[in-house]
Amino acid sequence: MSKNNNCPLCGSASIRIFLTRRKVPVHQNLLIRDRERATKIARGDLELAVCEKCGFIFNQGFRLSELRYGEEYDNTQTHSPFFAEYISNLIDYLIFEKKVQNCRVLEVGCGKGLFLRKMVEIEDAGNSGYGFDPSYNGPEVELEGRLQFAKRYYGPDCAGISADVVICRHVIEHVPDPMGLLHSIRQALINSPQARVFVETPCVGWILRKRVIWDFFYEHCSYFTAGSLTTAFAASGFHVEDARHLFGGQYLWLEAKVSNLKPAVIRTPASIPQLATRYARLENDMKTCWQIKLKKLAGKGKIAIWGAGAKGVTFANLIDPACEWIDCVVDLNPQKQGCYLPGTGHPIVNYQDLGKRGVTTTILMNPNYHAEIKLLLQKSKFKINLFTGSQEL
Ligand SMILES: [Zn+2]
């Protein structure tokens, strides 16, 4: 595949690579039970480019063929009570505020189907669901036929499946051609002119402003702001009704309707190109600061990081690739416990193992989980210092 020399979103040639990381693990969320295999995982380059015209950020070095979203792929986050509550609130919002009731709900990239199942399980809401995901692995029909799944992509060949609502959460950032995905959804909705679309994806403005070095990784090849996501939807035949932030500012949430008008597309890079430049200038200093900090903390006792998802994997690979300072990584997902971190091979453990491993410091990858983890540690009576990773150094 040749490199994309134009912005995949607006087509502009005004793109500039601002950050390069060579040989990063292509996968962050694989279950790997063998340490050596974890260290020998496939690697690729991160060559992040920013479009000066629309503010879209993408990995110009991305090769889709490197990725395998098969049965070993697991990014389940609902083992965290905080995250489970976030999902539950989002579903309540859709059903009660947005009146997603008696609707045919399609989910593009439904993963294991947890979100869609919850949307359909609330019986009073009267919804039926149809989930699409090539990595789906489970029964094709559930809840007396009200819930169906297809192990494939959703696209124009699905135009015969009517939809009132389309949900697409945490998918578009994995797609190197987001316009292709949106055109494909728009074509599939040709017979559903009333359809509403709800999309969730990380906000790159939050990553750049907070300088979250572990939020740029290979699985995510497309990074949006509210402006660039709106540009993409408007140009794909949707009318954007709302685009705002959720999850403490980390996520973007966009609501759109099918439109038959051809709107004038306004590209708004805002300050993203400048923020990208500033971020890139500081990344090496931030890495060095973390390494100095870990070295100092390691002198006092063992260190764990909390969260073996993409953030934890990226942090460990950037800061401690040779396993010098971090003893282990905690994750509440029992499927991940006993596995090894892709790229570095750090062991993934249950938090109850921290005491016997002699861990004295835990670094938290996502500040949203601070209260929940503090409580877990207090209940288990572990005397462990808890650092929030994103705190200013
Ligand atoms: Zn662009």
Distance, CA 5 to ligand 1 centroid (Å)? Answer: 11
- pLDDT tops 50 at residue 392: no
CA of 343 from ligand 1 middle (Å) equals 32
- In the prediction, which pLDDT does 37 show? 95
14: CA distance to ligand 1 center in Å?
8
Cα 189 to ligand 1 centroid, rounded to whole Å: 25
Q: Rounded to the nearest whole angstrom, what is the distance from the C-alpha of residue 55 to the centroid of ligand 1?
A: 6
Q: What is the pLDDT of residue 156?
A: 86
pLDDT at 7 over 90: yes
Q: What is the mean pLDDT of residues 351-360?
A: 92
* Residue pLDDT, tens place only, 147-194: 999 999 888 888 889 899 999 999 999 999 999 999 999 999 999 999
Q: Which pLDDT belongs to residue 70?
A: 67
Q: Quote the tokens at residue 239.
A: 């009318």
d(CA 53, ligand 1 centre) in Å = 5
How many angstroms separate the alpha carbon of residue 24 from the centre of ligand 1?
Answer: 25
Q: Residue 231 Cα, ligand 1 centroid: separation in angstroms? A: 9
Confidence of residue 389 (pLDDT cuts 50, 70, 90): low
pLDDT digits (tens, 9 = 90+) for 293-336: 999 999 989 999 999 999 999 999 999 999 999 999 999 999 99
Distance 96 CA to ligand 1 centre (A): 36
pLDDT computed for residue 155 by the predictor: 86
Averaged confidence pLDDT in the chain: 92
The yes-or-no verdict on residue 66 having pLDDT over 70 is yes
Distance 226 CA to ligand 1 centre (A): 13
Tell me the CA–centroid distance for residue 8 and ligand 1, in Å.
7
Report how far ligand 1's centroid is from the alpha carbon of 225 (Å).
12
Whether 386 has a pLDDT exceeding 60, the answer reads yes
Ligand 1 geometric centre to CA of 214 (Å):
24
Does position 231 have pLDDT exceeding 90, yes or no? yes
Tell me, in angstroms, the distance from the centre of ligand 1 to residue 12's CA.
Answer: 5
- The predicted model gives 368-379 an average pLDDT of 87
269 C-alpha to center of ligand 1: Å?
A: 8
Span from the CA of 57 to the centroid of ligand 1 (angstroms)? 8
pLDDT of residue 22: 97
Which pLDDT belongs to residue 137?
87
Q: Tell me the CA–centroid distance for residue 6 and ligand 1, in Å.
A: 8
Give the model's pLDDT for residue 3. 65
**Cα–ligand 1 centroid distance for 56 (angstroms):** 5
Of 5-14, 227-236, 257-266, give the lowest mean pLDDT range: 257-266
The alpha carbon of 276 and the centre of ligand 1 are apart by a number of angstroms equal to 14
Residue 42 Cα to ligand 1 middle (Å): 29
Span from the CA of 388 to the centroid of ligand 1 (angstroms)? 34
Query: For 19-40, what is the mean pLDDT?
Result: 94
CA of 266 to the centre of ligand 1 (A): 11
Residues 70-119: pLDDT tens digits?
667 776 666 778 888 999 999 999 999 999 999 999 999 999 899 999 99
Q: How far is the CA of 195 from the centre of ligand 1 (A)?
A: 27
| Residue among 318, 151, 315 nearest 329 (CA) | 315
Q: Global pTM? A: 0.92
pLDDT of residue 1: 46
Query: Mind listing the pLDDT tens digit for each residue in 236-288?
Result: 999 999 999 999 899 999 999 999 887 667 788 999 999 999 999 999 999 99
Distance 313 CA to ligand 1 centre (A): 29
Q: What percent of the chain has pLDDT over 70?
A: 96
Residue 161 alpha carbon to ligand 1 centre in Å: 32
Question: Distance from the CA of 58 to the center of ligand 1, in angstroms?
Answer: 10
